[in-house]
Structure formats: C-alpha cells, structure tokens
Structure 1
Amino acid sequence: MKVLDLKCSHEHRFEGWFASTEEFESQLSRKLVACPVCSTTDVSRVPSAPRLNLSSARGEAPQQSAQAQAAPEPQALQARAMQFMRALIEKTENVGDRFAEEARRIHYNEAPARNIRGVTTPEETHALLEEGIDVMPLPVPDALKEPLQ
C-alpha cells in the first residue's frame, strides 16, 4: 500500500492510499482522484519524506518555532472545517430542494422548529433573508454528501 501526499489546484493538501504508484497514475489519468474538500480532479502529487523523530531518540523534547505555534497548518484548518461540516450534517435534517419552502413553514410556525439544510437558488436565499428568515449559504464538499466508504 502506498500513501501519497497530494494537493489540488486550490492548494488543498490531503493523503491518498493506493495499491501502487502505477495504480495512482491510472486513477489520476481517469479523473478518479478528487480533492475531498472541493471535489476538483485537478490533483497532483507533492514531495514527501519519511518523518524521522531524531530528537526523541536523543531524549530531547521537540521544539516548535513561535510562528508554528501561532498559525495552524493548512491541513489542520482543513481537518477542522471537515469536522465542522460533518457535525453540521449530523445535526440537521436534509430537506433537499424544498429548503426555501420548509424554511418558510418553520418561520411561520406551520411546521415544527428544527435545524434544516438543503438546496436553494441565490434568488430564493435573498427572498428568505428579506422576509426575515435567517439562512446561511454553506457549500458542502461532495465528499460529505454521501456516506464514507
């Protein structure tokens, strides 16, 4: 099993697990490798090196620079965003393309109050906001739209 470090054209970094380098190249050429954040198939391999933890072998504690402690790594931010999106999906009901209709029913007490998510057009979103109905557009990565395998 090969674990490869990958990135998409939007600079999202992620890992891919493949049976071999040839299998990765085959899947990449068939556009089967997609970014889990934005779903683009414009993906490339980035250099990676084995991690050597030499400081612990000498009994020294690893030290981080002040800059590294202050700013989280892009991968950590992506992971937090994905965790947030998973939690949001778990705690909301998907009403699909009936979102605007269901949001109005909830707002006007015609349906039980609950957290919902779904799909709506920019025009419908604007109309809901003008009616005083709080909505928040939030694009969900394709990787989270279906159960993980």
Structure 2
Amino acid sequence: MIKYTLVCEAAHSFEGWFRNSGDFEAQVERKLVVCPMCGATDVKKGLMAPAVSTSRKREALSPIAKAEAESPVVDTPETKSEAPVPVSATPMQPSALLPENLRQKEIVEALRLVRARIVENSENVGSNFASEARKIHYGDAEERSIYGETTLQDAEELLEEGISVLPLPELPEDKN
C-alpha cells in the first residue's frame, strides 16, 4: 500500500492509501477520491516526505501503537466473528485519513460526510454483499458501487480474491 498526501481544489490536505499509483489515478479519474472536509473530487497529490522508520520514532510511539507497529495482526475469536459488518465496494479508500490536528467533533463530521457520500452514490445490496461483489468483479453483473453487510470472514475472502472492500465508517450513533 502507498500513502499519499492529497490536496483538494479548496486546499484541504488529507491522506489516502492506495494499492499502487495506477489505482490512485484510476480512482481520481472516476471521481471516487473525495475530500473529507468539503466533498470536492478534484484531488491532486501533495508534497510528501518518505516514511522512514527510525529508532527515535519507535521510542516516541505509545506502548499500544508500538506493539501494533511491531507485531503482526493475529486472528482471535473476536476478529473471526460471524456477525455481519457493514462494508462498501466503492473503490474509495479510507483515503481520507484526516490531519491529526482536527478535533474529535470535526473528525466525526467528516466521517458522516464520507459515509453519506458512499450511501448516496452506491446501491444497498443488504446481506447479498459478498455474492454481488463477486458478480461485479467477475463481470457477471453491471459494474457499480455497492454497500451492504457481510461477515468478517467473507470480507477477508473477497480481499484475498482481489476484490476491494472497505468497512463503512462507524459513527457514534451506530453504537446507541
């Protein structure tokens, strides 16, 4: 994965993760990369510094972040849950990782905007998400952005098949 610093036409800066530069270009061309602050789709790469890991940076990490950075992801019974998880096959990345200096309220509002854009510009296929995503990927159904629910295991299998899926942003009201 490649992390790009992105800038929209209104000069908002944010980050996005992409499989490769071609994936970034294709998504920008299709207007799928959206500024989380203003919703603009005219997005360009900004100036970026290479991500170099130094011992000083590792020492500055919190103990939790340090452990996450140094250890691989381990599947636990909790991560293998069969409960449905909302996901989206919109090629939009959690691109839209936000600048660290935004306050929590602004972050939640930006997540609401991202989620609203996905829902507004995608078809809800409900619990048929995994099968519909496969049909689209293999050319058996019309190409379009979809969202719905699937199990974590099915989402992992889709990713292994090369089918891009992302969890929809979880909002505080989703937990109430």
Normalised TM-score (structure 1)? 0.45
Q: TM-score, normalised by structure 2?
A: 0.39
More contact order relative to length (CA 8 Å, sep ≥ 6): 2
Larger radius of gyration: 1
